């Protein structure tokens, strides 16, 4: 299982431990990756993603996984996250189309009330 964030692409980096005598030994810098369940408003369900704690803070800052993932470019996202992005975009489009169908009826009712007064 790879230590890579599904939203930001942040992964393992390599470097050196440097001693006082300047001896360099190889080491790995591991990202803080967690498996979390996030609620999607557009899909109406929770999704499980393996993301870094930095990405989790960004998701909360953007008020949910839906807003955050739609703002991200596909280059950074994993295959699973790109599929999720496609599902969210589709669900929002369907919800928007359903809202567009109900708007004229509401607008007509407001116009009738204005004409009556």
**91 neighbors 84 (Cβ within 8 angstroms):** no
Q: Looking at the domain assignment, is residue 1 inside a domain?
A: no
CA-to-CA distance for 110 and 51, rounded, in angstroms? 47
Q: Looking at the domain assignment, is residue 37 inside a domain?
A: yes
What backbone phi and psi angles, to 5 degrees, belong to 3? -90, 75
Q: Looking at the domain assignment, is residue 26 inside a domain?
A: yes
Q: Looking at the domain assignment, is residue 6 inside a domain?
A: no
| Number of separate domains in the chain | 1
pLDDT in tens, 72-96: 999 989 999 999 999 999 999 988 8
Model pTM above 0.85: no
Spacing of C-alpha 33 from chain mean position: 15
**Counting every residue, how long is the chain?**
117
pLDDT in tens, 10-43: 999 999 999 999 999 999 999 999 999 999 999 9
Q: Tell me the torsion sign for CA atoms 47, 63, 75, 8.
A: negative
Q: Looking at the domain assignment, is residue 7 inside a domain?
A: no
């Amino acid at each position: 299982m790879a230590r890579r964030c599904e939203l930001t692409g942040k992964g393992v980096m390599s470097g050196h431990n440097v001693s006082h005598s300047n001896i360099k030994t190889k080491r790995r810098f591991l990202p803080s990756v967690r498996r979390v369940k996030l609620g999607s408003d557009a899909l109406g369900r929770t999704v499980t993603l393996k993301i870094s704690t930095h990405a989790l803070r960004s998701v909360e800052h953007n008020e949910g996984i839906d807003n955050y993932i739609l703002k991200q470019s596909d280059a950074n996202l994993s295959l699973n996250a790109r599929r999720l992005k496609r599902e969210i975009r589709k669900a929002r489009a369907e919800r928007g189309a359903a809202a567009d169908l109900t708007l004229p009826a509401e607008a007509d009712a407001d116009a009738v009330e204005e004409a009556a007064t």
